[in-house]
Amino acid sequence: MEQQNILDSEDMERVITRISYEIIEAHKGVENLALAGIVTRGDSLARRIQAKIQQLEGQSVPVGSMDINLYRDDWTRISHHPVVRPSRISFSVDGKKIILVDDVLFTGRTVRAALEALMDFGRPSLIELAVLVDRRGHRELPIQADYKGIRLGTLHSDTVNVLLKEHDGEDRVFVD
């Protein structure tokens, strides 16, 4: 199958701006709000949303990163020696409204692992989910995004590739 381009760098910037506006609007500002990006690309997207919120509201929200490898229900199938990076949540999550950020929502299992990992840091008052791409029709768990960049119908066998400047040198989303 030929690559199908979904988002280019300008599209991605617009999507991040829209998600940031939607978060601000839904919470009537940014009071008591924090972002937690799921390593690797969710972490970078969370930092971009943080920067956009800072630009729009003139206030910074805390941002952290979460490695969920030890919380995955399939880690033994991925590798006998999973690479576990540290989670960096330098703020108290107790009573905070946390927005989990990831690049692609597919089966929901990564988000389930992130929820479990986040609870090890404390008890937020609210947890919501923001994703760049919501792959429609493949959920295995009852999880949905509160904020989504695009909703994409794909075959189960399709691969959605998210490239980010921070990791890949360019911003682009495409399907193989």
- What pLDDT does residue 53 have? 98
- Helix, strand, coil percentages, rounded to 5, for the chain: 30, 30, 40
The domain of 65 spans 4-175
The predicted pLDDT at position 119 comes to 94
Distance CA 84, CA 70 (A): 7
pLDDT at residue 49, rounded to an integer: 98
Place of tokens 């999973």: 82
The whole-number pLDDT of residue 5 equals 97
CATH of residue 14's domain is 3.40.50.2020
Peptide bond before residue 159 is cis, with ω within 30 degrees of 0 = no
Place of tokens 């590798």: 79
- Name the residue among 176, 166, 175, 162 with its Cα closest to residue 12: 162
What is the total count of domains within the chain? 1
Residue 74's pLDDT is 60
**pLDDT tens digits for the chain (176 residues)?**
689 999 999 999 999 999 999 999 999 999 999 999 999 899 999 999 999 999 999 999 999 999 998 786 665 555 556 666 788 999 999 999 999 999 999 999 999 999 999 999 999 999 999 999 999 889 999 999 999 999 999 999 999 999 999 999 999 999 99
